[in-house]
Each structure stands twice: as structure tokens, then as C-alpha cells.
Structure 1
Amino acid sequence: MAEVCDQVTNLKRFKKIPIYVVEEHNDALQFIYSAIGGKKLPLEGTTLLHLDAHPDMLIDRKLKGEEARSGRHVLPLLQIENWIVPAAAAGHISRIVWLRPPWASQFRDDTRSIHVGDHPTSGELRVDCKEPYYLSDALYCSQLVNKRKFIFTSAELSDSSLAEDENNIQKLITNLDITQPYVLDIDLDFFSTGNPFLGLYGNINVYDRLQPIFEFKLPDNNDSETIDKVVELRERQLEELERLFQHLERCDNLDEYQGERTQLYHMVAELAAAIVEEAERLNEKPDWWAVFAGGCTRDQGGLPYHISTEEEIQNLVKKALVPLLKNIPPPVLITIARSTDDGYCPPHQVDYIQNLVLETLKEMYDTDDPALYYLNVNTTEL
């Protein structure tokens, strides 16, 4: 603890608070790592204040723990849904505060300690959290090596929850207890949230038909032995689904599939035949990767979806974001993700939301002109 305090005391300061605007949210992490390298953030102990309609706290199931701890080498291995926990595994982020809009509920609102580390056999990165978010992706492991603890808080941030009541604002601020140094991270889909998979072959209701194929049923018993067995079965299910869709990607059907003809095989084969027929009608090749990705979001019912009105967006900024930021210290740096190319922030609203958020931040803080990093073609290198 004393070492972390020394790191904080010896930090350098930006002359003005930098703002980095990216398209894909995982691209924000490189700026956090650069700030660590420049001694603007400590090597360990940073808080991430994360406003988003999605937690982004999954883990790539094939990511090794040693890769997560490899500094900037991990950056090209990350995607939008799994960029935060590897930074916690490396010790750079010790606390994550996910502030969600009212229509997102992937985690229960609470504060909990989570350990992240390596699976003792495979070396793949895993957590010891038993919540559905991790169980459904087979990311739980009761025995971890090279483990680290981080604190995770989930809470709702909305104009109605804060309203104009000073007591509500102070209660939230007290519960969150945001202290420096921290990074303010905002996904613009917090203010209006699309679901890119809803329209996937909509005429044949593919998104709904994926539910029984990818569905995950929570165990009745919460003891570690039971959970370990359930996770092992879930991992086999996900691996089988991945093999089936890889075969579809190559062949567009499962006729020559060499694996066992399980119930899952027959369910996927039936859906695949319908997709091929619909794709032919549309005169296009089936997008099996999109279907598989959509299925992976159906394990716990699906993704949040709420297209906000302009008034709702304004209220979230003026009556939720502003009261929050007024009552906590300024961040070291700010990252903003547009998340519109992948369909999570509605394209017809993203520029309006971005301008409103940037204007608000400029009014509140002494900020640099925003670095519009998404305008660069190559967003994987600084």
C-alpha cells in the first residue's frame, strides 16, 4: 500500500486534461497505458470510472494470463467487450466503477472484490466471480495462480435517480467514493443504445432463434464444486458451437461435419438451413461470424436496447453526468468511445451525443482540445 501511495505522490501532471475519442472502445486502453508509461498514472492502483451500456468486462477465453501481463503487447489481442479485466490482471487498474443507464442490467448493483488470475492447467485468464456474466462465458475458476484482486462496483446513473434531490446525489457520490487518480471513460452508447444483432436476418427471426441454442441455465447450487462442473460443461458447449460455426464459415452447411451429431448439432443445422435460404433470397453470402457473435449475446437474454429521444439524451447529460462530475475530483485523463461502426451507438445520434458530451466536459474542466483518434485509419498504434 505504501508503494502505491509513493507512486501517486510522484506522478507528473498533464498541463490540461487530455481527451481521447476512439471508435472501438478497446482502443482507449492504449492511452491509459501511455499515461502510465509517462508517469501521469501510477503503475498500479488506478480507478476506472466507466460510463457505458455494457460492462466490457468479459475475457477472451483463449487469452493467456501472461499475455494480459505483457504490457502493450496485449493491446492487439483485445476487443470491445474484453479490454478492462486484462488491465486489472496486470495490476494497472485496481478499481472499476461501472455506471450503467437504467436499461442495462448485466450485473447486480453492488460492490464486490474479484480475483483475476491464470487457470492452473491452461494458463488462460479467469476470474473467481460466480455471477452469471462470467459463468455463462465459462470464465469462472475457483483455483487461480498469479492472481490479483480488484474492486468492482456497478451502479445506475440516470436523471431520475439523481433528479434535483441533493440527498440522492450525495448518497451516490458517497457510495462511489471516487478518488484520484482515476480515468473517466465514457461510451457514447450510455446515452442511447443500439443492438446490432436485432436485425440479423430479421425476416426469419434469427436473433430469437439463437436463444435456445446458446442458452445458459444457472446452477441451483452455488458451491465451488458444482460451479466448476457447470463451467466445464458450458465450456464444452461453447467449444462445440465454435466448431460448428467454423465449419459453416468454410462450407455453408454441416453435411461434411466430422464431429458428433449431438442435439446441438441438429439445432444449429436446422437454423443454418434457414439462414442459407434467406441469404440466397437476399443474394448474399451468409454471415456466419455475425450469427455466432449474436448467439454469444443470447446466453442471459440478450443485449440492452434503448434508442433515446433527444430530450432523454439531454437529460442524461445535464441531470446525471453533470451532477456526478461536479461532486467528484477531476480525472487524470478522459477517454470517449463512439461505438457506432459496430452498431451500439445509433449512427444518426452519435455526432450529436459526442458534441454535447465534449461541450459539457469543456465547461467543467480545463481540457485540451479533444484528440479525435477515430479519424485515423490505423487505431492500433500510437
Structure 2
Amino acid sequence: MSNSAATEKVKVKVSDNEHKDMLSDLPDCIILHILSFLITKHAVRTCILSSRWKNLWKRLPALIFHISDFRGFRNKIFTEFVSKVLSLRDSSISLQTLDFENTSSLLEPHVLIWIVDYAISHDVQRLRLSGTTAIAQIPVALFSSQTLTHLTLSITICYGCENLFPESLNLPALSTLELENFTFSVGDNGCAEPFSTFSRLKRLLISHCTVKGWGALCISSATLVNFTMYNDSDDYYKIDLCTPSLCTFAFRGVPYHDISWSNISSLKHVDIDAEVFPYSCYGPPLFLFNWLSEFANIKSLTVTAATLQVLSLIPGLLTFKIHSLGKLKSLRVKIDEIQYGLCVALCNDKLQNVKSKKEAAMIQRAFDLGLEPSPLVPDGVVDFLLQNSPSVEVELVDCRKITS
């Protein structure tokens, strides 16, 4: 080895040691904060670094258990790992965050009970349960936690089953709630009111949820600031919003919901990414048009090119007058690839208005070649949105370039 090569090797070793020393010089609280972002399996492995690190992981403020990080006989290995972590962790330390993700249908239910009971008994503040766990398997103690501020429940739906959201909850500190794949039960008044007891709720996300029967979903909250909704089905139900503090509304998916916007004068920011099913029984997306007609005080509106295409399916849209969007200061249009289902709907809409077989053949060929819709931002729809605020500058964001 040459002298220069040996010198470089020594420099690398010294540099590595310097980095190790710098990390070791950090206070325990900083190191624990860093470790809390790691999967617990990896955080525990730091015990081999030195005597300083041997027991450091036992004071972790966050535990992240994902069964997908285990291979082989992962159900058994995962169960043993969870058992050891919960038994060896310093019980005097409160638990800030617990993230449990189960992708195995064979995992014993008692593992979830261990995890949730441990979290509740250690004053957990943020809790996420995701995967194939059934709602009936979640210990009822979870729904009366006095310390829980953030709760995420994303439960996989089994064929022929439904995940009924619990009717009686006592979560006085809850400020953020995220739900996926739940069915809300309807009371004697024909309404589902699953969030009425949350006196501090500020952020709500419901993803792919529905209402049992033909009832309405009532969201009444004096504190709710941010409401986000994802929907990928054509299940229709009405939503009654009574949210006087609502500032931001975001929607992704198929807009098949009749929303009653009572007392939303505080709403300032709206973000919509709409789609449609090509053969929906509901016809043109009039619900989306009705939503836009209610946004009297919003300052910023973000839409996708797909949303504008969905609006263009409404017959005679450009001739309508709306009395909203008069206080708009910002309009952002995000341009991305149009999904296949919407392309089919747009193609079918054009085919209904052709005047000759030749024209129909040209439209069908353009669709088959992926040339439709063209243009991606339909003519006139942006001007339609700005008819009451024509001086607003439009920002076009090409997301295809960002993600490429």
C-alpha cells in the first residue's frame, strides 16, 4: 500500500471516530428523540454499539411495531420481540407514540391486546393501528383513554363484513382523528353522529368510510379546523357539516356526497382532486358543482386537471352563473396524468354528442392511443371558476415533471 493510500485510510478512520464521538456526546434526550423515528426493531439493535447504548433504547418515547419488518416465521418472531420489548422497556417512562401495523391475518389477537393495554397504561398520546386487525379485537380501554390526542385507525375490510365504528367514546383530549374503512351506525334520528363527544377535535380525516343504511353523517364540532375526506366508491350518503371554525377542506376521490355546508364562513382553503366512475348511475357530478357554489369566503382553491375535467362533464356548465368564489386570492391547478376511469367517462361523453360515425371513430381512436383528453385542462372551465374574481392569478403546477 502506498503512503498516500495509507494516509487516506487513516483519515477515514479518524473521521469515522469523530462522527461517533460527536454522536456519543449528544445528550440522552436528543439521541432518544432520534431513535424514536426508527422502527423499534432497528432502535433496539443500537444496544450493541457500546455500553452507553446498551440500555438506552429502553427509554424510547415511541414504539413502532410493523410485522412486515420480520421474515421467516414472522408471526412467532414478531410476538416474541413485542413481548420482550414491552417487558424490558423502562415502565417509569410515559409513551408518547405507538404505531402498530399488522399485515398478517394469522397473528394472535392477544398481541394487539398486549400492545394497546401497554400503551394506555403508559399514558400514550399518539396511537396508530393499521392492517388486518378487526375492530372487535381492539380493547375497549382504548376508547376511554384520558391522554390520547392523536388516533389513527386503518382497518382492512374482510369480504362480506363491515367495521362498525364504536358508538360510545370518551376521549376528552383527542384533537386529531384519522379513520379508514369504517361504517358509521345511524341513530333513531336517522343520523350518524360519531364525533359529537370530541370537544377538542381539530383535525378529522375519514377515508373510504360509509354510513349504514341511507342515513346521514353529521359532523358537528365547534373546534374542527381541518376536514379531509377520501372516497373511492359510489356509495351515496348525505353529510351535514356544522363546523363554525372549519378553515381547510380537502377531498380526494369520487364526489358522490350531498354536503350541507351550514355555518362555514370561516372556510378559507379548499383542495379538491376529483374522479368519476365511467358508468356511474349518478350521472354528471352535480354534487361537485354544488360544493363549489357554497364556497363564498374561501381565499385559496387548489384543484387538479382531473377535477376540471370532471366539471366539464356537466352539460351547459359554462353558461351557469355562480355566486361564490368572489373572495378568491389564489387558484392552483395541479396537472397530472388523467386516470383511466375518467378517460373512459370523458370519451363516452364525447361519443354521446357526435354527429357522424367518422367523428365517433376518430374520438375512439384518440382514446385508444392515449391522446384523450386533450387538452388536459379543458377550455373555459378555469374562467368559469373565476367569473366572480377575474383578477386572480392562476398557477399551473405540472406534477408530471415533479415526479419524473
TM-score, with structure 2 as normaliser: 0.23
More strand per residue: 1 or 2? 2
More helix per residue: 1 or 2? 1
